[in-house]
Amino acid sequence: MLALASVAGLSGAALVAGFMVKVLDNPDAALEPMDFQMVGAVGKLNIAIRPGGTGEILYVQGGTRRSAGARSEDGKPLEKGAEVVVTRFEHGIAYVRLWEEFTKKARNKWAQTKFLTQLKGGHEYGSDKQASG
């Protein structure tokens, strides 16, 4: 009788453990360090940043909504609700720049690279090389 109860108990435990592993184990949910880096995170200012002052940024990281103290990268004021990107993170403070400025700078850098490549007679970003002749 004791052997039958032991076998039934172990079988039940194995079924519950198997079920829990199937339901709770998600192999696609691997933690990637890049998912938790502050630099490059995009968010919105919840509290405006005064000239040389500190505000607050709200952002999503690892599927969780988070907040951090924020300062303007260039010391200029930024309005509440402004979309910003974190350019560096030091001592718990995110240094931010307007997303619009950040993307404008990136577009200009891309255009400069493309222009210089064309001057050198090369091709980049899928453009065809011009035949000289």
3-54 pLDDT tens trace: 888 888 889 888 888 877 777 776 666 666 666 678 888 999 999 999 999 9
Block residue for tokens 């007679």 = 121
Q: Is residue 14 part of a domain?
A: no
Report if residue 79 sits inside a domain: yes
Is residue 78 a part of any domain in this protein? yes
DSSP-derived 3-state class of residue 46:
strand
Tell me whether residue 42 is in a domain. yes
More confident residue, 61 or 110: 61
Residue 23, in any domain of the structure = no
Is 0.75 topped by the overall pTM? no
Residue 12 lies in a domain: no
CB within 8 Å of 62: residues ≥ 6 apart = 31, 35, 36
pLDDT tops 70 at residue 78:
yes
**Average pLDDT over the chain, rounded to an integer:** 80
84 lies in some domain: yes
Specify the CATH number for the domain of residue 91.
2.40.50.140
The range of the structural domain enclosing residue 75 comes to 37-119
Any domain includes 8: no
**Band of residue 67 on the pLDDT scale cut at 50, 70, 90:** very high
- CA neighbours within 13 Å on the CB side: how many for 1? 0
For the chain, state the CA radius of gyration: 27
At residue 46, the pLDDT reads 94
Q: How many domains does one find in the chain?
A: 1
Q: Report how far residue 17's alpha carbon sits from residue 40's, in angstroms, rounded to the nearest whole number.
A: 40
What pLDDT band is residue 130 in, cutting at 50, 70 and 90? very low
Whether the Cβ atoms of residue 56 and residue 70 lie closer than 8 Å to each other? yes
